[in-house]
Amino acid sequence: MSEHLKTKPPSYGHLRLFVQAMTFAAVLATAPNAAAARTLRLVALGDSLTAGYGLPPGKAFPDRLEAALRAKGWDVKVINAGVSGDTAADGLARYDWAVPQDADALIVELGGNDMLRGMKPEATKTTLAAILDKARAAHLPVLLAGMRAAPNLGGEYAGEFFAIYPALAKSYAVSLYPFFLDGVAGDLKLDQADGLHPNAQGVEIIVQKILPSVEALMSQANR
């Protein structure tokens, strides 16, 4: 009798164990990819600079940021939680409903209206800290976007106000983008007629400059 005739066929039990083992291995191999396939939710909590004051539909910062991130391969939804005229205190007051519980990361762009109203920098700092406390409790990675004071408020005020953001970023161990309007502020070609808000071209500059910081934030959210 030849050798291959002497070989016993595998039993049903052996085949079943083999199939189960292969299925389990396949699940383990695809689990990280399945997690990565979930659309990430990035919330931009801010004022008119986030909301898109004076801009056509689809041209606000969150819209253009989402497009830029998707072009880089990120499966992400950027939620526009900007409200024109909001101070830091206003942002704090609506945090619980503006930032959904399933958010994966947060950009905080607030404080500009505090500055325009001449509010004490220490009060703004305290309010922003309360926002960061909420984000910390939710285990949300945060990118804090800084703001500079208008020159007419004086050097002392400008120094105190600008210092809010790096101090908070260090204290809470969150990422800092020092000046949200970097490359745009004061450029008439990139500003709207009011000289305060970026036009559509200005928003594109903001997105280009902040994008590396946001990608780093999304890497934290995707862990």
Walk along the chain (223 residues) and give the pLDDT tens digit of each residue: 444 444 455 554 554 544 454 444 443 443 334 345 689 999 999 999 999 999 999 999 999 999 999 999 999 999 999 999 999 999 999 999 999 999 999 999 999 999 999 999 999 999 999 999 999 999 999 999 999 999 999 999 999 999 999 999 999 999 999 999 999 999 999 999 999 999 999 999 999 999 999 999 999 998 7
Whether 175 is catalytic? no
- Would you state the pLDDT for residue 55? 98
Distances (CA, A) of 157 to 12, 14, 105, 204: 80, 77, 31, 30
Whether 48 is catalytic? yes
- Would you state the pLDDT for residue 56? 96
Query: DSSP assignment of the chain, as one string?
Result: --HHHHSPPPPHHHHHHHHHHHHHHHHHHHHHHHHHTSPEEEEEEESHHHHTTT--TT-SHHHHHHHHHHHTT--EEEEEEE-TT--HHHHHHTHHHHS-TT--EEEEE--HHHHHTT--HHHHHHHHHHHHHHHHHTT--EEEEP----GGG-HHHHHHHHHHHHHHHHHHT-EEES-TTTTTTT-TTTB-TTSSSB-HHHHHHHHHHHHHHHHHHHHHHT-
Whether 4 is catalytic? no
- Would you state the pLDDT for residue 170? 98
Q: Which of 2, 102, 139, 194 is labelled catalytic?
A: 194
Q: Which of 14, 47, 48, 102 is labelled catalytic?
A: 48
pTM for the predicted model, two decimal places: 0.83
- Would you state the pLDDT for residue 15? 46
Q: Which of 75, 90, 197, 219 is labelled catalytic?
A: 197
- Would you state the pLDDT for residue 38? 85
- Would you state the pLDDT for residue 116? 96
- Would you state the pLDDT for residue 141? 98
Domains of the chain: 39-221 (3.40.50.1110)
